[in-house]
Structure 1
Amino acid sequence: MTVEVHPATADRFEDLATILAPKNPDTVACWCLTYRLSSRENRQLGAHERPEYVRRLCAQPIPPGVLAYRDGEVAGWAGVAPRSQLHAFATGARIPLLDDRPVWSVWCFRVRAGHRRQGTAQALLHGAVDFARAHGAPAIEGYPVDNQGRRIDAIMAYVGTRSMFEKAGFTKAADTAAVSAGTPRVLMRLELG
């Protein structure tokens, strides 16, 4: 099967909603905003305001991430943006700032059932790297779990795994104070030249 990765632009919003929207539209779901917004802003957005907020992000010159398509069907999502646009990473203490360069971050992977364990997440990571490079990023970071090859719950693996990032050419740059599913997260970085 062919996997193509495209920016999550306004014309692809419905595909993004297929990945991020909860089954019940009245449920407050993340919509990949938890790391982007301050806690206060995040709490203020209700169930119906979240998709509209993301729709506006998709219409901006730099969309909020990338979508994977397998044989034309939307299969997955990765959030990727300048780190400075992500409140939790720009101001938080759990993920260290290595320097003051305008690096980008890839922080979330969602792969639909039926498309898992087929290289979709890896394709999303490569697409995120290409997206950041095309927008002039000097480097890109990720903050995956360091699960040391142990199986991890798919839901809690939304940050990716260290081995996935290593396969894409990233190297460990620092330890972090963050955990996911009780597993430590590490800062992985790839220089883009």
Structure 2
Amino acid sequence: MIDVRPATVFEDVRAVIGPKSPTSTVCFCLSYRIPSKLNNTLKGQARADYVAELCNERPAPGVLAYDGDIPVGWAAIAPRAATTFARNRKIPHVDDLPVWSLWCIRVRPGHRGQGISHALITGAVDFARANDAPVVEAYPLDNGDSKVDLTMAYAGIRKNFERAGFTKSADTTSTLAGHPRVLMRLVIH
């Protein structure tokens, strides 16, 4: 049974989205969360420390999926206004509602193909609902039946969001791994 909880335990977040090398300047799911100038200056341990602080804030920076006590997946979700999507020119604003953005879904190798991404989407929506979000937006790949490079599949794929009740609200001019991204929404309040 997969359990999805707010991402408040830094070591569990590190296990799912932390880079293999502690001196790395990638991942930790910061590229859409913080301004690019700050993202580019955070390196190695400073990057990890920044995410550890996020795990202590409320709301948490996302949700984690657990198989028993083992963290097996991550979804990044936050108010759009608190992310770089607030100013992103490629992802349109549909209206003035204080929407939450769900922009990254990661399932650890060895745990894929077990429905964890579906549990993460549902858990992220529940988390947003508990924090009074009226709408959740996602910007998944519209890949049809084509395969997606797993490294670039973090944005999710359209059919998984449709399965969770999201509907396409707008096209975007954003592409990822050669696939267009669409803006999908789910009204929750």
- TM-score norm. by structure 1 comes to 0.96
**CA drift at 1:29:** 1.5
**CA drift at 1:61:** 1.4
Q: Give, in whole Å, the separation in 2 of the partners of 1:98 and 1:39.
A: 24
* Alignment-derived partner of residue 92 in structure 2: 96
SS in 2 for 1:155: helix
Are 1:164 and 2:163 counterparts?
Answer: no
Q: Give, in whole Å, the separation in 1 of the partners of 2:7 and 2:107.
A: 15
Identity %: 51
Q: Give, in whole Å, the separation in 2 of the partners of 1:73 and 1:45.
A: 28
Show CA shifts across 1:124-147 (max 9, x none).
000000000000000000000000
Letter in 2 for 1:53: Y
Letter in 1 for 2:118: Q
Instruction: Map 1:170-185; keep pairs closer than 5 Å.
Output: 170-185=166-181
* Alignment-derived partner of residue 122 in structure 1: 118
SS in 2 for 1:177: strand
Are 1:80 and 2:77 counterparts?
Answer: yes
**CA drift at 1:92:** 1.1
Moved more, 22-31 or 169-178: 22-31
* Alignment-derived partner of residue 8 in structure 1: 7
SS in 2 for 1:48: helix
Moved more, 122-131 or 64-73: 64-73
Large movers: runs of 4+ above 4 Å? none
Instruction: Map 1:12-91; keep pairs closer than 5 Å.
Output: 12-87=9-84, 89-91=85-87
Report how many aligned residue pairs link the two structures: 189
| Runs of 5+ unmatched residues, structure 2 | none
Show CA shifts across 1:107-160 (max 9, x none).
001110111011001100000000000000000000000001221111111000
RMSD between aligned alpha carbons? 0.8
Letter in 1 for 2:100: W
Letter in 1 for 2:48: P
Letter in 2 for 1:124: L
* Alignment-derived partner of residue 148 in structure 2: 152
Letter in 2 for 1:122: H
**CA drift at 1:44:** 1.2
* Alignment-derived partner of residue 139 in structure 1: 135
- TM-score norm. by structure 2 comes to 0.98
